Structure 1
Amino acid sequence: MSRTRRQIISTVLGAFLLFLLYHYYANTKNNSPSKISISPISSAQDESTQNSNDQTQPQFLWRDLPARYPAAELRQVPAELPQELPNLQPAGSKASKLAQLKQRSRQLAVKETFERCWRSYQSLAWAADGLAPLSGHPTNEQGGWGAMLVGNLDTLWIMGMHEDFEKTVATVVQINFQATASPEINTHDVNIRLLGGLLSAYDLSADVRLLQKCIDVGDMLYSAFDTPNRMPIIHWDPHKAARQEEQLAEENVLAAEVGSYALEFIRLSQITGDSKYFDAIQRVMELFDRQQESTKLAGLWPVVINARAEQFDGDVFTLGAEANSLYKVLPRAYVLLGGQIPMYRRIYERYTFAAAGHNLFRPMNPDEKDVLLSGTVRVFMTQNGKARTHLESQVHYQSCFAGGMFALGGALFKIPAHKKIANKLVDGCIWAHEAMPLGIMPEAFDTVPCASQTHCPWNEWHWKQEAWKKANSLQPEPMPDLNIDTFLKDHRLPKGFIGIPDATAKLRPDVIESMFILYRTTEREDLLDKAWIMFQALQNASRTENGNAAIVDVTVEGTQPILSDSMHNFWTSETLKYFYLMFSSADMISLDDYVFNAGGHPLKRPRVSWQRS
């Protein structure tokens, strides 16, 4: 071969090798995890458009992204057989055939309400996060991941709507959890509503397609724990996470948001055999355990904490809004773990002791009902450096979960005092419903706390005096000539109420959830009729053509209530579900077989070893 020919061949081969190197480098660079982008997911309402959009999305797995701060050693989810825990529901319920027939008709009425809401969502907002019931417009405020779809999978199954369940699953499995238009997501909400909904639907149906989606969402949320101290980021930027940009746990965040992953992460580890999820939340709960006795109100955690510095030095303590999901899940975690980790029982006994002594109070009421409500405690330091507590007797609708919590704990740990407290708390929230013109409790109200929980006679003069003080405290200047009778009438305050700072009703589940748990653990029959009256009140006041809408003011009577263009997903995924189960037989989603997460999704309690072979 001539020298010239060899040079030509060498040149061609060299050019070809350079081309291959360039092509390899370009592909490697484009596929590098640090360059992964998360594209917006379509909010299109028809399934075909949704699926088409998904095919164009970038594909990657959250679990494949390398961790910046990996856990050195994983805590292993307990794999031995669960302990024999006490039965939560009485054995051998003996409801008469007439009672069963009455309950069945009530159950069907609840299902009819759900179906009406669901059909409107199907036709007007399919695959969106929610539906605005007055305008009929779809809403996307939870990442655009079809929160209404995911959140109601278990409701569809429980209500026997299996064709709708199958159609919904077919859409849900197409959701791309690597894609969102939201610059930031609330990982707490995604956990209890999306992951909780998927886990529940899988536990009920055993559909393996849903298990894969559970893993997808669980891995995404697990990435939010990739911080120096392994505390989760609540307001999390998934786009930065996908690009492997560092994010830190927040310095000002709700304790409930940080601590309420327990049930979902425990259950995900149980059904997958992967302990990383359990390890993530167990580290968090061990921190809460260490801090519990050193807060300003020992036993309770402050509403706001510094997760980055692991500081729990806040001075506001409540079981209500902004804290309820934390306290709700802890005894349920003990159940889900089969009693294998005593820490959760210890935590429960500490905070219920503190709450019973500080937050719970008897409200003065004209019928002198022996009931309890839950308020907020503020801790302040005196001039001599001593801590003092002050009870604010403002009650939030979300605090009404506490009756169910004490009912569950009383049955689980055999604490008779907790059963008594549970009955009084549930009765207190029923009283607040019944006292309003519409028969619906407002989001927040103020009342007069009794000096004693054992003796509290009605004193109308004292009630008016406290209402006068409350009215003046809200004015920029004192009003000594305020006519309290006129004030009470103008502000439509029933006897016993001294203020209603938030007269709206968002159709929340907290009261019926507690009534359901108390009924299942005690079979207290009067709760059935009270629940039916409550359901009718909610339905009559909030019904619209396209669903049920939040009520602007529950104190207005004699006219059709003013409604807002909002139907929160918890109306169908929680409130209606609890009403349906309230009127169901005791073996439907028994508390001895399931625990409910903070979003109202039942998760299966393990009965045998769940360790993978």
Structure 2
Amino acid sequence: MSFGLPQNVPDFASTARSVEDYMWSGSGNTSRHNSRRGNSSGLPLYKDKPITNQPGGRSKWIVFGIVFGLTLFGLYKYTSADESSEPRKLWFGGSSKQLSAKARQGLIKEAFLESWNGYEKYGMGLDIYAPVSKTGRNMAPEGMGWIVVDCLDTMMIMGLDEEVKRAKNWIMSNLTYDQDYEVNTFETTIRMLGGLLSAHYLSNYDDAYLEKAVDLANRLLPAFDSSSGVPYASVNLKTATGVQSHDDMGASSTAEVASLQLEFKYVSKLTGEALYWEKAEKVMEVIDRDMPDNTLVPIFINPETGKFQGRNIRLGSRGDSYYEYLLKQFLQTGNRELVYRQMYDDAMTAVKKNLVQKSKPNGFTFVGEFDSGPEGPVSPKMDHLVCFLPGNLALGATDGYPLHIAQRSSWTVTQASDMKLAKELMKTCYEMYKVTKTGIAPEIAYFNTADGSTEDMNIKWQDSHNLQRPETVESLFVMWRITKDPIYRQWGWEIFEAFRKYSRLEDGTGYTSLESVNEIPPRLRDNMESFWLAETLKYLYLLFEEDDSVLPLEKVVFNTEAHPFPKFNMDPLFKTGWKRSKPAPTRKKL
């Protein structure tokens, strides 16, 4: 594998690092993959020929047999000599169960290349791509680079140097954020700003990416110009105007306002400008000030008042990454900002007390929702989005270190409880795939909790679609890195094979979302989300990475769009600018 951590990594702890003092003015060899599975007969690369009774036929067949035998022997030696060629065995009838981790990585890279090459050929630069009809369109008038920027670091990790070169050329030649267009503050931050920052990091700090990132960050800053400091749902990139949501009575979603912090804090670290940091952390102070006593927050917040709206509480859509970033803010700055550790621990305690449930008859652990606040019943609905939680719990229990190392150092009751819950939820998320006809998970599942139930979960037809989401394989990657339990690789491979069987286009030009995971053959949705390339395939690829020094979890933190940033020291320029009234958490040791 050609990828590793960036060489000559700047010392973030050094007060002399020149880039920290740089003040921004405010302005802004892999060839195209060819499918080897176009053979509709299902035969390998050769075809059987019938035996004939022509004169000399026997002698010809003797010669043919000798040549054929030598050919097969040569192929055997070739594939045996190079483990990276193991995918070829599949074309000759081999079983994927026999493949090494390296060979499985090769097939995952192949899936990425099929998806990327189809997009590059038929829709390069377009923000929205339909792989079945091979059409697409832009969101902004001149495009946002939605797919190109989002998957750039995946190509870097996979060592796709030529593809990276072409993608960078497109970004530098075609991409501008000087457009009179309203963008979603959250999605643009995690995908575009996060993608550019990660590309800067993984490219050994190529400043071309940083210049684009800072230009975009400056255009996003006006979203924070509300009365409370809670960002508006949208922002106009050209007029520098924050825009309240046109729905939900003007409220922003909690996950969206509280999942900008990793990106903006990292911009501050790279530029030395405190403004980005201060804007992002102010949001957390406002949330904590108005937080309910049970520390589980509603999924809407008003940007003008800073008050929560509604009673719906969940760890699925509009709530998920708020809880994710509580922990990851703590990890990003070297475990220094204890205020976020406390908020995270309090939240997980409340989740375990209020929302964790068991299904019947098999007792799968799941996380439900409050439709009408903590006083009401728990809904047994669980989004696939909630499957980020097993990995997050494992990160929280170990700070990203291998489990056997973390357990040597002050292992506590809370850590043990979080790790146990992580394993149970990981099993449930896997079962959300196994319960369907295709082996691919639905968008939402409902769990049965009544006595006499014969099935643990139900899937409603309107929730049976699949968007190629990454959350389960994200958690599988984290669980594998931390525990080294091979079951997580096994589950991840089963999921990938299901995608390859049912969402891969027959012409080998890409993968698509599905209308229903309970129909065979499934109806194709004709849409490829950018996170298929940016997250799902990246996490699957890293799941089978044998070298744990590649993006080690104790040294990097992944944003909620799977863009890795290095952990860093806040000193000397930055500090946590607010305090909670509650003391920092203490953990009871086992």
| TM-score normalised per structure 2 | 0.74
Partner-residue secondary structure (3-state), 2:371: strand
2:337 corresponds to 1:341 = yes
Paired residues for 1:561-600 under 5 Å: 561-585=522-546, 586-600=548-562
Structure 1 pair 531–64 and aligned structure 2 pair: CA distance change class (3 A): closer
Bigger Rg, structure 1 or 2 = 1
Q: CA deviation at 1:203?
A: 0.8
Partner-residue secondary structure (3-state), 1:389: coil
Paired residues for 1:129-528 under 5 Å: 129-141=127-139, 144-180=143-179, 182=181, 184-205=182-203, 206-241=205-240, 251-294=250-293, 298-365=294-361, 368=362, 370-379=363-372, 388-412=375-399, 414=411, 415-449=415-449, 462-463=452-453, 496-497=457-458, 499-528=460-489
Confirm or deny: 8 A CA contact 1:512 1:579 kept in the other structure. Answer: yes
Confirm or deny: 8 A CA contact 1:289 1:343 kept in the other structure. Answer: no
Q: CA deviation at 1:236?
A: 2.2
Q: State how far apart, in whole Å, the 2-side matches of 1:268 and 1:326 are.
A: 20
Could you say which residue in structure 1 is the equivalent of 2:26? Answer: 63
User: 1:90-144 deviations in whole A, cap 9, x for unaligned?
Assistant: xxxxxxx999971001100000000111111111111221421011012323671
Paired residues for 1:14-163 under 5 Å: 63=26, 102-141=100-139, 144-163=143-162
Structure 1 pair 162–333 and aligned structure 2 pair: CA distance change class (3 A): same
Q: What are structure 2's unaligned runs of at least 5 residues?
A: 1-23, 29-83, 87-96, 400-405, 575-590
User: 1:367-407 deviations in whole A, cap 9, x for unaligned?
Assistant: x2x53112211345xxxxxx723111011111111111111
Could you say which residue in structure 2 is the equivalent of 1:84? Answer: none
Q: In angstroms, what is the RMSD of aligned CA positions? A: 2.6
Q: State how far apart, in whole Å, the 2-side matches of 1:228 and 1:194 are.
A: 26
Partner-residue secondary structure (3-state), 2:335: coil
Q: State how far apart, in whole Å, the 1-side matches of 2:178 and 2:474 are.
A: 34
Confirm or deny: 8 A CA contact 1:320 1:375 kept in the other structure. Answer: no
- Partner amino acid for 1:540? K
Q: State how far apart, in whole Å, the 2-side matches of 1:247 and 1:166 are.
A: 36
User: 1:540-590 deviations in whole A, cap 9, x for unaligned?
Assistant: 110113311111111123xx2110111111101100000000000222211
- Partner amino acid for 2:392? M
Q: State how far apart, in whole Å, the 1-side matches of 2:153 and 2:189 are.
A: 15
Moved more, 303-312 or 504-513: 303-312
Confirm or deny: 8 A CA contact 1:177 1:216 kept in the other structure. Answer: no
Confirm or deny: 8 A CA contact 2:233 2:243 kept in the other structure. Answer: no
Q: State how far apart, in whole Å, the 2-side matches of 1:100 and 1:283 are.
A: 52
Confirm or deny: 8 A CA contact 2:387 2:471 kept in the other structure. Answer: yes
Structure 1 pair 581–106 and aligned structure 2 pair: CA distance change class (3 A): same
Partner-residue secondary structure (3-state), 1:595: strand
Q: State how far apart, in whole Å, the 1-side matches of 2:25 and 2:368 are.
A: 41
Q: State how far apart, in whole Å, the 2-side matches of 1:124 and 1:499 are.
A: 34
Structure 1 pair 498–364 and aligned structure 2 pair: CA distance change class (3 A): farther
- Kindly tell me the number of residue pairs found equivalent between the two proteins: 465
Structure 1 pair 177–233 and aligned structure 2 pair: CA distance change class (3 A): farther
Confirm or deny: 8 A CA contact 1:259 1:285 kept in the other structure. Answer: yes
User: 1:55-105 deviations in whole A, cap 9, x for unaligned?
Assistant: xxxxxx99369xxxxxxxxxxxxxxxxxxxxxxxxxxxxxxx999971001
Q: CA deviation at 1:313?
A: 4.4
| TM-score normalised per structure 1 | 0.72
Q: CA deviation at 1:314?
A: 2.3
Structure 1 pair 523–416 and aligned structure 2 pair: CA distance change class (3 A): same
Confirm or deny: 8 A CA contact 2:467 2:529 kept in the other structure. Answer: yes
Structure 1 pair 283–607 and aligned structure 2 pair: CA distance change class (3 A): closer
Could you say which residue in structure 2 is the equivalent of 1:556? Answer: 519
Q: CA deviation at 1:238?
A: 3.2
**Identity over the aligned pairs, expressed in percent?**
28
Structure 1 pair 188–495 and aligned structure 2 pair: CA distance change class (3 A): closer
- Partner amino acid for 2:150? G
Q: What are structure 1's unaligned runs of at least 5 residues?
A: 1-60, 66-96, 381-386, 451-458, 465-493
Partner-residue secondary structure (3-state), 2:375: strand
Q: State how far apart, in whole Å, the 2-side matches of 1:428 and 1:246 are.
A: 40
User: 1:474-533 deviations in whole A, cap 9, x for unaligned?
Assistant: xxxxxxxxxxxxxxxxxxxx6642745411011100100011111111111111111101
Confirm or deny: 8 A CA contact 2:225 2:231 kept in the other structure. Answer: yes
Q: State how far apart, in whole Å, the 1-side matches of 2:244 and 2:439 are.
A: 46
Q: State how far apart, in whole Å, the 2-side matches of 1:142 and 1:600 are.
A: 24
Confirm or deny: 8 A CA contact 1:300 1:354 kept in the other structure. Answer: yes
Moved more, 184-193 or 97-106: 97-106
Q: State how far apart, in whole Å, the 1-side matches of 2:512 and 2:369 are.
A: 29
Confirm or deny: 8 A CA contact 1:62 1:219 kept in the other structure. Answer: no
Q: State how far apart, in whole Å, the 1-side matches of 2:137 and 2:304 are.
A: 33
Q: CA deviation at 1:181?
A: 5.9
Q: CA deviation at 1:272?
A: 1.2
Structure 1 pair 607–165 and aligned structure 2 pair: CA distance change class (3 A): farther
- Partner amino acid for 2:566? K
Confirm or deny: 8 A CA contact 2:27 2:218 kept in the other structure. Answer: no
